[in-house]
Chains A and B, each alone.
Chain A
Amino acid sequence: MLGYIVRRALLAVPTLLIVTILVFLLVRAIPGDPAQVLLGEGAPPAALAAMRTQLGLDQPLIAQYWLWLRQAVSGDLGHSIVTGEAVVPLILSRFQLTATIVLTAVLLATVIATTGGLIAAWRRNGHIDLAISSTASLILAVPSFWLGLILLLVFGVQLRWLPVVGYVPLSEGWSAALAFLILPIATLTISESGVLTRMMRSSAVDVLRLDYVTHARAKGLSERAVLTQHVFPNAFAPTLTLVGLTLGHLLGGIAVVETVFTLPGLGRLMVDAILARDYPVVQGCLLFTALIYVGVNLAVDLLYPLFDPRVAA
């Protein structure tokens, strides 16, 4: 078990290195002088010269990468061209909101999807299965931002239960912020539960065919016990991997939902930075999100043996 953890953690090291190389190269791939790119159009010559030295532009590319990596590790990803704010604190402040929404939504979607998928597999080809499977397939065809717009239309514009625009920061108390968070969380929960339900149903169908399930039933266990104690743990393992991928998918796709609900999260920060050609912020968001994605997938792989001990063998 310990060997598995160490092996898997070591595997993440080259991935991390390659991710940093790609992020580094991406900004270098933007046409023009990198110092100019990172400081913006109106930068004074003295600042440009200082930036060239800081980036090590007179040195070979590998040395430049090493210089950049050392600064990044020490928490220095430069300053925003637009506002002059340091990139790292900016990202962290925006990430708080994004993380709250994404984690809550993924947790809810996992609970809904595993329950729904398990029931659908248990009643395979019956009416309940038809209802659950069709709903899941329909959800797959609905873009999250359109779902968000429709929810806003119903609960914000028509029923007037929830606000249509605006935001109250979490720091001003949960109850005030909650009104602005319900719909984005509901949107993401519904969107992501589609694919997770299908996955859970498909792996539960496979597990339900196995001999040990027949054996558990023959022992006289109730259907509930068979499903929760015997089918669920084994069917959940593949779904767990997908939950990890979903988290990454959401971190990439959160910008659209933040746009619908006018929330100042990490996704919107990156898109606004792209539109404003604020490359230090773009680079920072990209690096930060990719690192979290690698971290989440590592965590999922480390949790995997809890559900499928064969992996760690």
Chain B
Amino acid sequence: MRRGVGAWLGSAILVMLAGVLLLGAFWTPYDPLAIDLGHVLAAPDARHWFGTDEFGRDVASRAMLGARISLTIAFETTCLAIVLGSALGVLSGFVRGWLDRIIMTIADAVLAFPAMLLALALVAVFGGSGQAIVLALGIAYLPATVRVVRAAVLSIREKEYVEAARVAGDGPLRIMLRHVLPNALGPIVILSTSLFGWVILYESALSFLGVGVPPPAPTWGNMLSSARPYLEIASWLSLAPGLCIVITLLGVNLAGDALRDHFDPGERR
């Protein structure tokens, strides 16, 4: 029962989020980048629901544009880590041998760094920009993806249908694409949702630190970063972007839990 409620709540949040994203692509209450020095740090009212920032920009409009930037980065990063990680994981788990050993040694070495630390280090090399964040977080989460996919493939490759395909004369590439990968989709989908949530969190953290997406483009993280100095006189600046992150993560996490129950009913508690 409780799981059902969570799944509904998660889906509702994600649908709402998609609606805001779609709306934000065509319309925002104000121009998110328009500076209005006559309305600096205005408290929330009927015209500006979430107030204005230190340049008089509408916080609600910026949060809407920020949603697009943050979620695009999260989507691209997840795709990068999942596509590359699945390819390497399937290769590693199915082919085994020296290829497996090389891939796993490198993966374990990268896992010896906490993800956030590695992302920081890579940003130091690539410089701070949207693409740099995608690359840095994509690399930081690649080893975890490889490990999860490989573990799934290790059990799949022993299944009868793989043996049957081999006997039927299918080549290894065809077996990997037609039989192994489709059967590993469950864990891959579950991992993708977790990754998506982590990346939203870490992107906002990097942007909050000032090494992420550079201003004036808004992301939820850099909006919070510029809100910090005004905490005592304009506390509303910290509310909208923070709530956006919390609601989004809640939706993604609840949907992820529901997916896990769906693919892995034995784990239901």
Give me the interface of A with B, judged by CB distance under 8 Å.
15, 18-19, 21-23, 26, 29-30, 124-125, 130, 137-138, 140-143, 145-146, 149-150, 152-153, 156-157, 164, 202, 205, 248-249, 251-253, 255-256, 259-260, 270-271, 274-275, 279, 282, 286, 289-290, 293-294
The complex places the Cα of A229 from the Cα of B149 at a distance, in Å, of 38
**Contact status B246-A30, CB under 8 Å:** no
**Contact status B109-A18, CB under 8 Å:** yes
Of B89-97, B119-127, B151-159, B185-193, the one with at least 4 CB within 8 A of chain A: B119-127
The complex places the Cα of A47 from the Cα of B154 at a distance, in Å, of 54
- Closest chain-A Cβ to B50's Cβ sits at a distance in Å of 15
**Contact status A249-B116, CB under 8 Å:** yes
Contacting A at CB under 8 A, from B243-269, are 245-247, 249-250, 253-254, 257, 269
**Contact status B125-A157, CB under 8 Å:** no
Q: Is B238's CB within 8 Å of the partner chain A?
A: yes
Q: Is B115's CB within 8 Å of the partner chain A?
A: yes
**Residue of chain A at shortest CB distance from B122:** A26
**Contact status B109-A15, CB under 8 Å:** yes
Chain B: residues with Cβ within 8 Å of the partner, total of 43
State whether A141 and B121 are in contact (beta carbons under 8 Å apart), knowing that A19-B112, A22-B110, A294-B112 are contacts in the complex. no
Q: Is B23's CB within 8 Å of the partner chain A?
A: no
**Residue of chain B at shortest CB distance from A282:** B124
**Contact status A249-B112, CB under 8 Å:** no
A-B contact pairs, 20 of them (CB 8 A): A18-B109, A19-B109, A19-B112, A23-B121, A26-B125, A138-B250, A141-B246, A141-B253, A142-B246, A143-B246, A149-B231, A251-B114, A251-B117, A252-B116, A252-B117, A255-B120, A259-B228, A270-B120, A286-B121, A289-B114
Which residues of chain B have C-beta atoms less than 8 A from A259's C-beta? 208-209, 225, 228
Contacting A at CB under 8 A, from B98-113, are 105, 108-110, 112-113
Contact flags B130-173 to A (C-beta < 8 A → 1, else 0):
00000000000000000000000000000000000000000000
Q: Which 3 A-B pairs have the closest CB atoms?
A: A252-B116, A252-B114, A252-B117
| 14 more CB-based (< 8 A) A-B contacts, given A19-B109, A252-B113 | A18-B108, A125-B2, A140-B249, A141-B253, A142-B246, A143-B242, A145-B224, A248-B114, A253-B114, A253-B116, A271-B210, A271-B211, A282-B124, A290-B112
Which residues of chain A have C-beta atoms less than 8 A from B109's C-beta? 15, 18-19, 21-22
State whether A15 and B201 are in contact (beta carbons under 8 Å apart), knowing that A146-B245, A271-B120 are contacts in the complex. no
- Closest chain-B Cβ to A197's Cβ sits at a distance in Å of 14
**Residue of chain B at shortest CB distance from A28:** B125
**Contact status B242-A146, CB under 8 Å:** yes
Give me the interface of B with A, judged by CB distance under 8 Å.
2, 105, 108-110, 112-118, 120-125, 201, 204-205, 208-211, 224-225, 227-228, 231-232, 235, 238, 242, 245-247, 249-250, 253-254, 257, 269
Which residues of chain B have C-beta atoms less than 8 A from A255's C-beta? 120, 209
The complex places the Cα of A152 from the Cα of B228 at a distance, in Å, of 10
Contact of B124 among A249, A251, A252, A274 (CB under 8 A): A274
Contact of A150 among B108, B204, B242 (CB under 8 A): B242
**Residue of chain B at shortest CB distance from A25:** B125
**Contact status B112-A15, CB under 8 Å:** yes
**Contact status A137-B253, CB under 8 Å:** yes
State whether A143 and B231 are in contact (beta carbons under 8 Å apart), knowing that A19-B109, A286-B117 are contacts in the complex. no
Which residues of chain B have C-beta atoms less than 8 A from A130's C-beta? 2
Which residues of chain B have C-beta atoms less than 8 A from A137's C-beta? 250, 253-254, 257
- Closest chain-B Cβ to A287's Cβ sits at a distance in Å of 10
The complex places the Cα of A189 from the Cα of B186 at a distance, in Å, of 33
**Contact status A143-B117, CB under 8 Å:** no
State whether A274 and B211 are in contact (beta carbons under 8 Å apart), knowing that A146-B246, A202-B269 are contacts in the complex. yes
Which residues of chain A have C-beta atoms less than 8 A from B269's C-beta? 124, 202, 205
Report which residue of A23, A156, A256, A282 has the largest number of chain B beta carbons within 10 angstroms of its beta carbon: A256
- Closest chain-A Cβ to B148's Cβ sits at a distance in Å of 16
Which residues of chain A have C-beta atoms less than 8 A from B208's C-beta? 145, 256, 259
Which residues of chain A have C-beta atoms less than 8 A from B205's C-beta? 143, 145, 253, 256
- Closest chain-A Cβ to B120's Cβ sits at a distance in Å of 6
- Closest chain-B Cβ to A139's Cβ sits at a distance in Å of 10
State whether A18 and B112 are in contact (beta carbons under 8 Å apart), knowing that A153-B238, A290-B117 are contacts in the complex. yes
